[in-house]
Amino acid sequence: MPIISDRDQETIKRLFENRLSGPVEIVMFTEQPSLIFVPGREDCATCKDTEEILKEVSGLSGKITLTVHEISRSKELAAEHGIDRIPAFVLKGASRGRVRFFGIPSGHEFSAFIADIVDNSTGISGLSDETREYLAGLSEDVNIKVFTTPT
């Protein structure tokens, strides 16, 4: 049974048909549950559901691809993307920046996730000219973090 309702899937599919202009790759880092008990290791509580949501969303447009990596087997790739915990995923598209999500994109975070896919596809952030001018004057990289709680 899908996590995203059929009605919502149709709405998102239409949005993607109308708004996506270029490809977007979702690069997920996860970890499968251990088949044996390992002292000190806890299984990822939301990895399975996060992967299912990402599969459902990526299946709504031919412009979206999903690659899934076991973090324990892809440590270098995870480090390249700044991933140090799971579940996590990165959106890669036409935008110059990098959008990383940690945790499951549910509740209000889900709509932000869908909007970020569109923004990554088009490369258009919606920032004002004044903001762009200010940002162009920065001499160092900026790492913006947004923290949310499950809703």
Distance, in Å, from the CA atom of 34 to the CA atom of 96, rounded to the nearest integer, reads 37
Q: Report which secondary-structure segment, H or E, holds 112.
A: helix 108-122
Name the pLDDT band for 150 (thresholds 50, 70, 90).
low
**What number does CATH give the domain 6-136?**
3.40.30.10
pLDDT for 124 equals: 85
pLDDT greater than 90 at residue 105: yes
The dihedral built from the CA positions of residue 133, 109, 20 and 99, taken in this order, carries a sign that is positive
- Angle (CA) 11-100-84 rounded to 5° is 140
- pLDDT of 60: 98
Chain centroid to CA 42: 23
Mean of the pLDDT values across residues 19-44?
A: 87
